[in-house]
């Protein structure tokens, strides 16, 4: 094997010098769904077949194709040492309509083809770590002690003349053909971003690997869902609520408004705190779950989970609107809201329904997410009035009840005044076809008792009507 490696290095050198006509370089890699947004193909992230791609050289189209099984592609270059920058690009408009290569049981794709022994590049195993049974991986730190990497003492005189020269920091001299198998010499000048990977082919390399990530915009996918028709309910009613969410995201603890009780999910609901674990409910009650999103973007489908809510008490105000939007944390670390219907209750519910038909809606979130002890975050709450009728007597109140002792306000919108137990904001009138956003910056105490919760529930008022948004809960 050692002699084969020497021959490969020699072949790289004579190819680089143009002494063999049959020599060719190639670009290869895979297209994968980058669920956590780090531009790296991590274990468990799906490789996607059937994706059209374009290879460019210095911004000019060089080749086109479609990814094969396992999301792989390979492009043979016309000649050795074609100077310039190669980019492999996929188009989001066509990519988002493709289906997953293996949605139910995805297999971890390899970074290189199985026949990597002939490439002079370290092969990877199923865990995306170096294959230490491959001599081409002997330069990887994980493989230093592998048996195939131990030099034969009788060949010391031969080996010394073929050792890759390194500098004082042990970095290889990539202009020397003896360094062709070093990973650092095959990764120079590469840039990767969503939908595109670019690189310059190393002079002594026969293969350049460019993996192309497809990013997932979880929030915009939810926003594209048409809003559900509002439900008008009264005390004693049992209502069905469909919660729509991206399958890769996990639910935060959700605090149900006091007027509701979740039927058939007692084991996942705390009757004292009213906290509801939707993640556990989804896992244990799979019969209530169904997939709705085949295309577009079948790689990461949208799911519907059905809740059955019993109305167990009247709202404290004469009428109320409840927007059922539990929040989720997605693999990229961002918080998104699920899509769910509006429930109208109490006296004047029909009038509320008429306004709801005009798409008056609320959206509240903690950005970027619930802060750890000692950290800061921002509560954003927004009311939308896209109608042709202005609104009057608009105000918002953010109670600082449960958990309020563990945080301090650092800044908030000019319309607001901080009081002992709430932030109160007088908006006044709102023009037609307008949105109004209120922000509240806060910082958590350095120490928050384990098991504590902070609950923030913005309440918008328009005249005598109160619009109660979802309670945002941060657990510690």
Question: Residue 302: is its pLDDT beyond 70?
Answer: yes
Burial class (CB in 10 A: 0-12, 13-18, 19+), 37: middle
What backbone torsions phi and psi does residue 204 show, to the nearest 5 degrees?
A: -100, 10
Percentage of the chain beyond pLDDT 90 is: 14
For residues 319-326, give the mean pLDDT.
83
At 194, list the tokens: 């969503």
| pLDDT at site 230 | 80
Q: How far apart are CA 47 and CA 134, in angstroms?
A: 24
At 340, list the tokens: 């769910």
Helices (H), 236-371: 278-284, 349-357
Which stretches of 59-115 are assigned E, i.e. beta strand? 60-66, 72-76, 85-90
Tokens 């109320």 identify what position?
320
123's CB contacts (< 8 A; 6+ apart) are 110, 112, 114, 116, 117, 130, 131, 134, 136, 137
Instruction: Return the closest-CA partner of residue 7 out of 147, 123, 149, 15.
Output: 15
Of 252 and 318, more confident: 252
At 387, list the tokens: 């109608």
Q: Per the CATH hierarchy, to which homologous superfamily does domain 2-215 belong?
A: Immunoglobulins (2.60.40.10)
DSSP 270-329: -TTT-EE-HHHHHHH-GGGEEE---SS-TTS-EEEEEEEEEE-S--SSSEEEEE---EEE
Instruction: Return the closest-CA partner of residue 289 out of 299, 297, 279, 298.
Output: 279
User: Using the 8-state DSSP alphabet, how is residue 464 labeled?
Assistant: T
Q: What is the pLDDT of residues 338-396, one digit of tens each?
A: 876 788 887 655 444 444 444 567 888 888 788 888 999 999 998 888 777 888 889 99
What pTM, to 2 d.p., does this model score?
Answer: 0.47
Q: What is the pLDDT of residues 128-181, one digit of tens each?
A: 566 677 665 666 666 767 766 665 434 444 345 567 777 766 777 765 656 655
Q: How far apart are CA 156 and CA 171, in angstroms?
A: 22
The answer to whether the CB of 178 falls within 8 A of the CB of 164 is yes
Q: Does domain 358-476 have CATH number 2.60.40.1290?
A: yes
At 11, list the tokens: 């072949």
On the question of a common fold for 2-215 and 358-476, the answer reads yes
Q: What is the pLDDT of residues 177-196, one digit of tens each?
A: 566 556 666 554 678 888 89
Mean pLDDT is lowest, of 223-237, 274-288, 311-325, for 223-237
User: Using the 8-state DSSP alphabet, how is residue 269 labeled?
Assistant: B
End-to-end CA distance of the chain: 56
The answer to whether the CB of 260 falls within 8 A of the CB of 377 is no
Instruction: Return the closest-CA partner of residue 273 out of 301, 254, 291, 290.
Output: 254
Instruction: Return the closest-CA partner of residue 199 out of 83, 79, 33, 52.
Output: 83
At 20, list the tokens: 């063999």
All structural domains of the chain with their residue ranges: 2-215, 218-357, 358-476
């Amino acid at each position: 094997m050692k002699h084969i490696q020497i021959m490969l290095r020699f072949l790289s050198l004579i190819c680089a010098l143009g002494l063999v006509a049959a020599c060719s370089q190639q670009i290869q890699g895979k297209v994968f769904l980058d669920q956590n947004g780090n531009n790296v193909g991590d274990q468990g992230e799906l490789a996607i077949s059937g994706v059209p791609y374009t290879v460019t050289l210095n911004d000019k189209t060089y080749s086109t194709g479609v990814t094969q099984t396992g999301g792989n592609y390979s492009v043979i270059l016309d000649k050795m040492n074609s100077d310039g920058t190669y980019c492999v690009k996929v188009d989001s408009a066509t990519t988002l309509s493709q289906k997953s290569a293996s949605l139910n049981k995805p297999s971890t794709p390899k970074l290189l083809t199985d026949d990597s022994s002939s490439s002079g590049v370290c092969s990877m195993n199923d865990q995306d770590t170096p294959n230490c049974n491959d001599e081409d991986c002997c330069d990887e730190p994980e493989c230093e002690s592998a048996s195939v990497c131990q030099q034969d003492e009788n060949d010391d005189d031969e080996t010394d003349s073929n050792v890759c020269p390194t500098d004082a920091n042990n970095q290889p001299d990539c202009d020397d053909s003896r360094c062709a198998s070093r990973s650092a010499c095959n990764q120079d000048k590469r840039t990767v971003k969503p939908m595109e990977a670019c690189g310059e082919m190393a002079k002594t390399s026969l293969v350049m690997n460019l993996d192309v990530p497809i990013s997932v915009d979880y929030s915009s996918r939810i926003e594209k869902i048409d809003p559900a028709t509002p439900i008008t309910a009264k005390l004693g009613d049992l209502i069905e609520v469909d919660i729509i969410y991206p399958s890769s995201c996990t639910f935060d603890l959700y605090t149900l408004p006091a007027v509701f009780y979740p039927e058939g999910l007692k084991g996942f609901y705390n009757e004292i705190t009213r906290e509801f674990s939707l993640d556990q409910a989804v896992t244990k009650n799979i019969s209530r779950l169904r997939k709705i999103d085949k295309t577009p973007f079948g790689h990461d489908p949208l799911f519907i989970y059905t809740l059955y809510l019993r109305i167990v008490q009247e709202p404290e105000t004469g009428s109320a609107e409840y927007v059922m939007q539990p929040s989720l944390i997605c693999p990229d670390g961002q918080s998104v809201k699920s899509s769910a219907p509006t429930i109208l209750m109490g006296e004047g519910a029909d009038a509320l329904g008429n306004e709801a038909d005009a798409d008056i809606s609320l959206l509240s979130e903690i950005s970027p997410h619930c802060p750890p002890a000692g950290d800061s975050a921002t509560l954003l709450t927004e009311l939308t009035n896209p109608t042709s009728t202005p609104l009057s007597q608009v105000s918002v109140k953010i109670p600082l009840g449960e958990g309020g002792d563990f945080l301090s306000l650092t800044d908030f919108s000019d319309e607001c005044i901080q009081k002992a137990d709430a932030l109160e904001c007088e908006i006044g009138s709102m023009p037609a076809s307008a949105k109004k956003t209120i922000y509240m910056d806060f910082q958590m105490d350095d120490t928050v008792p384990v098991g504590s919760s902070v609950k923030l529930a913005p309440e918008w008022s328009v005249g005598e009507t109160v619009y109660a948004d979802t309670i945002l809960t941060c657990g510690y």
